[in-house]
A and B are shown apart, each in its own frame.
Chain A
Amino acid sequence: MGDLVKNSLTIWLIVGWFGYLILPWYMLEDGFFSFYWLVDGYPMDEDYSAAFMQVFSADRNWLLPLIFTLLLPLRALSLDKSDKRYGLYLIASGSLGLAYLLLQGFAIGVSGWQLSLFESYFINAEFNQYGMGYGALLYGLSMLMLLTTGLAARGAMKGDVFVTSSIGLIIGIVSVFVFYPVSQVLISAFQDNEGTFSVVSFIDKFFDDKIWGLACTSSSVACGIAWNSLMLAILTAVLTTGLGLAFALIVTRTGFAWKKQLRLLTVLPIITPPFVIGLALILLFGRSGVITEFVADLFDTEATRWLYGLPGVLFAQVLSFTPISFLVLIGVVEGVSPSMEEASQTLRADRWNTFKNVSLPLMRPGLANAFLLSFIESMADFGNPMVLGGNFEVLSTEIFFAIVGAQNDQGYAAVLAILLLTFTLSAFFVQRAWLGKKSYVTVSGKADSGVHMGLNPLLKMSCYAVALPWAFLTVVIYGMIMFGGFVKSWGYDHSFTLQHYNDAFALNWTEMGLVWQGAAWDSFWTTLSISAIAAPLTAAVGLLTAYLLVRQNFKWKSGFEFGTMLSFAIPGTVIGISYILAFNVPPLELTGTGIILIICFVFRNMPVGVRGGIAAMSQLDKSLDEASLTLGANSFSTFKNVILPLLRPAIIAALIYSFVRAITSVSAVIFLVSADHNMATSYIIGLVENGEFGIAIAYCSVLIIVMLAVIFAINFFVGERKLRRSNRLSIANKDNNNRSLKLQEAQ
């Protein structure tokens, strides 16, 4: 076993040397996946040469000290693992290497000194460097692994190198891709337009009338955008939670005939591109919408623009997020133990009292979760306010216009981002506080053989009355989306046409071979490939984190957990702006690349993988791992051979979710796309802004179909976990509950 540790150390050292001596140290102009540099003057060309060459060919002699951190571990290789110096050497070189790498990266930028601190001490020199590339990446990774291997040798995590390295890796990437960008937002909010630190300018911007203005209460002037966002989010959350509960009660507590079809509704929000609903609403209720005109004809009134503004955005958001709260609440409503309700009834409470005093309080965590999710989703929602907002401005759109609009005020955007983050995080903590430490556990290990109580007639009728028209409306809207792509001009000319599909997805066969003629192909393939790369990475990072959280104990574990879950509470718009602020300049110069999109998706969707993994892993008896360990397998092969195979359902869920979310997300993406890497959603937004609804809708329908196909394909290829039915039955009940838990966390 000791050999294995040494072997992995050797490999990481080779990686480090390889990064330092051979690979191009700096970011390449042509992109990460381009290998043009191999034939374009490598290794001598200054743009492509490795760090060691840079020292001599480009006089970048500050890269020379790095070599010592690669020499020292060579000495450790010859030592015994139990020798104290072995660990010390590794820790020293790893931590020094990382620290120096970061220091020089931040200190020296494209045009000399980047930190003003240094500028005042040294003469402004004639040197510069670019963003880090392959070489620096491998070197940094190698240093991180040396550090963790060293720590393990000194007894961290019971000497387990795999676990120590995994923790180190997760902390490393979360710091770089979550904490660092978010801190950049904080910093930039406190800078005035010249870039110097200023609390005054922060306060000025923060308390601007545009944000907090209350003039709307007394006059026709628009309200502050903070109030707009807050009001919208609260209304949306209340309505969706109520509707979701009505749906959940119908499915679980009544004899309704189409329960299965109703459950299908829960899949919709996951595969719906963000502004599809908004579009469909315009086509139905807009000024020239079908229903609007019909009503106008009927009552002979003037068609109005009521849809644009708060009512329309609210309408669209409630339509979009009700299925999410439905999904959360089904699990919770099912989870209320029937024996509790039976107990209440035998104690002479009638059905209404039982529902009010027993069932409903037990559903509190579910209601709180549904409320929180809808609240955050509404706050972060970008697509609907964009399409339907009109003069009704909210934080997420305002942030966007602060960056891309004429004002281009990053500081103002950062202030808004902080405000948005404050709202969502407070909602998060308020929810925690409200649920408190009360136990809502009603599912124990014991088999529970009761029957759920039916609803009393009045409650049942009101559920039907609220939910069924809503379900009908949803069906109509999705039908419209499919239909809308095939008519010439919705609302004016309903004759059948394939023109929109042809514009977007035309293929042509010429003597040059296949030509992807349609306008949408470019963004379509970018979207698919970036999502396909991001999905497995997301699942891997998420499940590894879940493994560490469930199976390992270490100091500051709750801090670790908070860090990995943080990006869940951060609205996409905030993530987007923070990535722009953080990765626009060296040492990590990623804007405009496809990589920044992939990274963004990985860290935005990671919490889902983590939650799903935690739920699934808590089901696996810990003695399975221990058995594997005492049988001589190390923790890496235990993870690989025992845990992963048993986690198949969670892996599938994580893969599907992260793939689909990468396709449908818009709020963060809109900041990060570039001409070379345009995503479907931002392309569609462009279409909507130009009023090309037909093509936009055609594109959305294609995306929906593709996502459905992928979901089936992933299910098919990853396959079932082979445990036989007999084994699954006994835990089937538990499985169900965990699934709903997982899904509720998933949102």
Chain B
Amino acid sequence: MSSTYAKGSVVFDHVIKNYGDVTAINDVSFTVEPGNLVTLLGPSGCGKTTTLRMIAGLEHASQGRIFIGGKDVTQLPATDRDVSMVFQSYALFPHMTVLQNVAYGLVASGINKLEAAEKSEEALALVGLHGYGQRLPSELSGGQQQRVAVARALVLEPEVLLLDEPLSNLDAKLRRQVREEIRELQQKLGLTAVYVTHDQEEAMAVSDRIIVMNKSVVAQEGSPRELYDEPNSSFIADFIGDANLIDVELVDTANGMANVNIAGLQKYLPAREFALGSAQLAVRPDAIELQHVSQKTSGIKGNIRHATYLGNQMQYDVDCELGTLFVVDYQLKQSLVVGADVNIDFADRGLVLVKAN
């Protein structure tokens, strides 16, 4: 791969990380292309933060090799790697001013103080904190502290920028704003960035590519759309946008399309790699259509067990022969009450055949 040697690329080559008997990372390989923002996504304990810390050099691989910009950095300590990191807690030095914080890395790498201060001012201006240099971190709001942390990392013009759940300490509104700012900066500067989060919506919003991790291995890698539309397992289908997992029968396949039998209902869906026989179908919550029994008689019969009104949508739990289905209705055409009998039908989009876990 040519990009393997390009400045700013990150390559994991069969990396394993053990802590005593516990395997935190089990044979993980991936490539981050220069200029991309790649997200490591996964439930807590999946190894995503360990992976990030191995890129930073804060942990060292037990086996395998790690390349940054084509250079083998497997044994290199954090100090000597050309990466910088934005921490979940921001890790701003509380005894230094904002400017001293931002200039810290520059001074450590031997740039003279005047120049360092100048560059740091620029970096602060870049994140919209011009004039805040003389304050102490404790005198800034959470969002501002977060931006100082970003400026401190950016000012070093690292080959790779690492972000460890950078938004988790912000409230929901601010989170959306700051993530857009980060994405904008990253694209403007053409930086390679690796981003860790457990929030799939955040991942979808900022990433060029997403690496989903589960149980110490890479579960699937792809663009946000690929992951949503073509999950390779029921885990991915459920993790990236919710999914109801239903056991189905493939009756017939032709021209890449499969005739699927869902408890009596017939659907034509892309067959993907599946052959005839039983399979699993991931159904997005908004791909299920509910109707009062009185209006239509075909379809699967169900009964509303639970209904929640959320303003812009209704959420239902529906009992039926397939189990309990989670349904989201954005149309709000009708409001079904608990106990109501319904007919269940499926939309054409939002259904995908997946491998059972």
Contacts and interface: CB of A to CB of B under 8 A. Distances in A.
A628 B95 contact: no
B91 A721 contact: no
A631 B105 contact: yes
Interface in B214-241: none
Contact of B89 (A621, A646, A726, A727): A621
A623 B78 CA distance: 13
A637 B92 CA distance: 16
B104 A631 contact: yes
A95 interface: no
A621 B91 contact: yes
Contact of B95 (A159, A635, A645): A645
Interface residues on B, range: 20 to 34
A155 B153 CA distance: 28
B56 interface: yes
Interface in B133-148: 136-139
A623 B88 contact: yes
B21 interface: no
Interface string B83-101: 1110111011111000000
A721 B94 CA distance: 10
Contacts of B153: 631
B87 A723 contact: no
Interface string A601-641: 00000000000000000000101101111111111010001
Nearest to A642: B93
Interface string B45-71: 000000000001110100000000000
Contacts of B156: 631-632
B274 to A, nearest CB: 45
B139 A623 contact: no
Contacts, number: 89
Q: B83, B136, B162: which has the most chain A beta carbons within 10 Å?
A: B136
A642 to B, nearest CB: 6
Contacts of B84: 630-632
Name the residue in B87, B89, B95, B104 with the highest tally of chain A Cβ atoms < 10 Å from its Cβ. B95
A87 to B, nearest CB: 12
Contacts of B81: 630
Interface in B77-129: 77-81, 83-85, 87-89, 91-95, 104-105, 108-109
A630 B58 contact: yes
Nearest to A726: B138
B152 interface: yes
Looking at chain A's contact residues, the main secondary structure is helix
B75 interface: yes
A62 B95 CA distance: 54
Nearest to B80: A1
Interface in B157-204: 162
A724 interface: yes
A628 B91 CA distance: 9
A626 B58 contact: yes
A724 B139 contact: yes
Contacts of B87: 623, 626-627
B105 A623 contact: no
A633 B108 contact: yes
A633 B104 contact: yes
A721 B78 CA distance: 28
Contact of B138 (A623, A627, A723): A723
A629 B58 contact: yes
A629 B79 contact: yes
B95 A631 contact: no
B136 A723 contact: yes
Interface string A729-743: 000000000000000
B264 to A, nearest CB: 53
Contacts of A722: 95, 136
A428 B95 CA distance: 38
A723 B79 contact: no
A632 B105 contact: yes
B105 A726 contact: no
A522 interface: no
With most chain B CB atoms within 10 A of its CB, the pick from A628, A635, A637, A726 is: A628
B276 to A, nearest CB: 53
B312 to A, nearest CB: 34
Contacts of B57: 629-630
Contacts of B104: 628, 631, 633, 641
A646 B136 CA distance: 14
B108 A727 contact: no
Given A158-B60, A631-B84, A631-B152, A646 B94 contact: yes
B91 A623 contact: yes
Contacts of B105: 631-633
Interface in A336-381: none
A160 interface: yes
B91 A627 contact: yes
A159 B85 contact: no
Interface in A145-195: 155, 158-160
A724 B138 contact: yes
Contacts of A629: 57-58, 77-79
B193 to A, nearest CB: 14
Contacts of A723: 94-95, 136, 138
B139 A632 contact: no
A1 B78 CA distance: 11
Contacts of A726: 138-139
A557 B136 CA distance: 36
Contacts of A628: 93, 104, 108
Given A646-B94, A722-B95, A1 B79 contact: yes
Contacts of B85: 626-627, 630
A131 to B, nearest CB: 40
Contacts of A641: 104
A35 B222 CA distance: 73
A8 B182 CA distance: 40
Contacts of B77: 158-160, 629
A628 B105 CA distance: 7
Contacts of A627: 85, 87, 91-93, 152
Nearest to A721: B95
Nearest to A730: B138
Contact of A632 (B58, B95, B108): B108
Given A159-B75, A160-B77, A624 B136 contact: no
A630 B91 CA distance: 11
Contacts of B92: 627
Interface in A440-495: none
A720 to B, nearest CB: 11
Best-buried of A630, A721, A724, A726 by chain B (most CB within 10 Å): A630
Given A626-B87, A724-B138, A632 B94 contact: no
A726 to B, nearest CB: 5
B83 A630 contact: yes
Nearest to A633: B108
Interface in A1-49: 1-2
Nearest to B81: A630
Given A631-B105, A631-B152, A633-B104, A155 B75 contact: yes
A630 B95 contact: no
B166 to A, nearest CB: 12
A245 B272 CA distance: 74
A453 B113 CA distance: 56
A645 B57 CA distance: 25
B230 to A, nearest CB: 36
Contacts of A626: 56, 58, 78, 85, 87, 91
Q: Which 5 pairs between the two chains have the least Cβ-Cβ distance?
A: A631-B105, A727-B138, A627-B91, A633-B108, A623-B91
11 contacts: A626-B58, A627-B152, A629-B78, A630-B81, A632-B105, A632-B109, A642-B93, A645-B95, A646-B93, A722-B95, A726-B138
Given A626-B91, A627-B152, A629-B77, 18 more contacts: A1-B79, A2-B80, A155-B75, A160-B77, A623-B89, A624-B93, A626-B56, A626-B78, A629-B79, A630-B78, A631-B108, A631-B152, A631-B156, A632-B156, A633-B79, A633-B105, A722-B136, A724-B138
